[in-house]
Structure 1
Amino acid sequence: MTLLATLIPACASKQVANIQTVPHVDLPKFMGDWYVIAAIPTAIETESYNAIENYSLKDDGTIATTFTFNKGSLNGPKKRYEPHGFVVKNSGNATWGMQFIWPIKAEYLIAYLDENYTQTVIARNARDYVWIMARSPKISEDDYKKLTTLVKSLGYDTSKLRDVPHHQ
């Protein structure tokens, strides 16, 4: 019985607090191009270069999304995905569902957004994927360090972050 009592707590999963989103997102201001600066990438992004996420607010309140990148190199073949974003009600517009395949909506949390809407961090409670994005393809080293430190404070393993190269 003592062995069983020792093993049960060791097998229990560690509870991690949910990621806090920003209090409010002005959706029209958030729309447009966002360059992916760094990410813990999904399977489709592991070899992305020149990655840009574009958001456009539709009349029905959903968000048309276009994700483009070059695969394998700065001049590699162009890839394009068009998932749809759905803002979760009463979330201050900071929690979305992102749908690549019906009916599955992936969690999309705006965990950080600077006051000028020039830099953002998109996270997930699962801590499996994260994106550091900016309105320009390059940010300062100080900003990069600040944002990666924030990502670490959210509970991510920052050794998994991949810098996403862009044409300059």
Structure 2
Amino acid sequence: MQNFFKTSLSCAAIICVSLFSSLSAQAEVSKPQAVSEIDIHQYVGQWYEIAHLPMYFQRNCASNTTANYTLNSDKTLGVLNSCRTKTGETISSQGVAYPQNVGMSQLKVSFLPAGLRWIPFTKGDYWILRVDPEYKVALVGGPSHKYLWILSRSPQIDEATYQSYLQTARQYGYDVTKLVRTAHPE
């Protein structure tokens, strides 16, 4: 009988430790959150895509993917995304980003023609999840985990910086094993 209680107590302790460990692991992953605010004047300009989650809209992009942002007079952002296809052709898509918060870190982006941008549910989330103080590297995604980009002001970033941004994405629950690194041949 005494062995039964010792065994039961040991099992209960193991179960408690396992439960605590799994709750701790879950606590490390949080929902994506945009930074509270950005300096839009530092954010505008050209960014190079370093990596992205595969998506339909970028299916023809093979290399040299960039995004160029401009501040419009109505406080929206002009967006010009460009890339090179496998055949070497440069393709681009022009859109508008609409601020969703005062800090301009949560945007909704539409690439529809201007006359169709009023249609509901046609804008994608563009949340700035992390940006370094000098606005040289940024992590962009949204609440759905469908989209994720690592952007840089230069075509290459060092591995330590890349790994640091991957870690932030992991903490927000993104599956970084699916990230595709973007080639920027010289």
Normalised by the length of structure 1, the TM-score is 0.84
Partner letter of residue 152 of structure 1? R
Give the aligned partner of residue 57 of structure 2.
44
Partner letter of residue 129 of structure 1? Y
State the alpha-carbon separation in 2 of the partners of residues 69 and 82 from structure 1.
12
Judge which range, 106-115 or 142-151, deviates more.
Answer: 142-151
Q: CA RMSD in A?
A: 1.5
1:70 aligns with 2:84: yes
Q: After TM superposition, give the deviation of residue 41 of structure 1 in Å.
A: 2.9
Deviations 1:3-56 (A, max 9, x none): xxxxxxxxxxxxx95411112101111000000000003213133310000000
Q: After TM superposition, give the deviation of residue 155 of structure 1 in Å.
A: 0.5
Q: After TM superposition, give the deviation of residue 88 of structure 1 in Å.
A: 1.1
State the alpha-carbon separation in 1 of the partners of residues 167 and 100 from structure 2.
27
1:151 aligns with 2:169: yes
Amino-acid identity (%): 26
Deviations 1:53-105 (A, max 9, x none): 000001111111100000126xx111100011111133x11000001122311
State the alpha-carbon separation in 2 of the partners of residues 42 and 96 from structure 1.
19
Partner letter of residue 89 of structure 2? P
Partner letter of residue 33 of structure 2? Q
Task: Please state whether the residue corresponding to 1:82 is helix, strand or coil.
Answer: strand
Give the aligned partner of residue 3 of structure 1.
none
Structure with more of its chain in strand, by fraction: 1
Matches within 5 A, 1:1-168: 18-46=31-59, 47-72=61-86, 76-90=88-102, 92-101=103-112, 102=117, 103=119, 104-168=122-186
Aligned length: 150
Structure 1 segments of 4+ aligned residues over 4 angstroms from their partners: none
State the alpha-carbon separation in 1 of the partners of residues 173 and 127 from structure 2.
14
Give the aligned partner of residue 17 of structure 2.
none
Q: After TM superposition, give the deviation of residue 116 of structure 1 in Å.
A: 0.2
Name stretches of at least 5 consecutive residues in structure 1 with no aligned partner: 1-15
State the alpha-carbon separation in 1 of the partners of residues 101 and 169 from structure 2.
25
Give the aligned partner of residue 7 of structure 1.
none
CA contact 2:139–2:151 (8 Å) conserved in 1: yes
State the alpha-carbon separation in 1 of the partners of residues 184 and 109 from structure 2.
24
Between structure 1 and structure 2, the one with the greater Rg is 2
Name stretches of at least 5 consecutive residues in structure 2 with no aligned partner: 1-28
Deviations 1:91-142 (A, max 9, x none): x110000011223111110000000000000011110110000000000011
State the alpha-carbon separation in 1 of the partners of residues 130 and 83 from structure 2.
23
Structure with more of its chain in helix, by fraction: 2
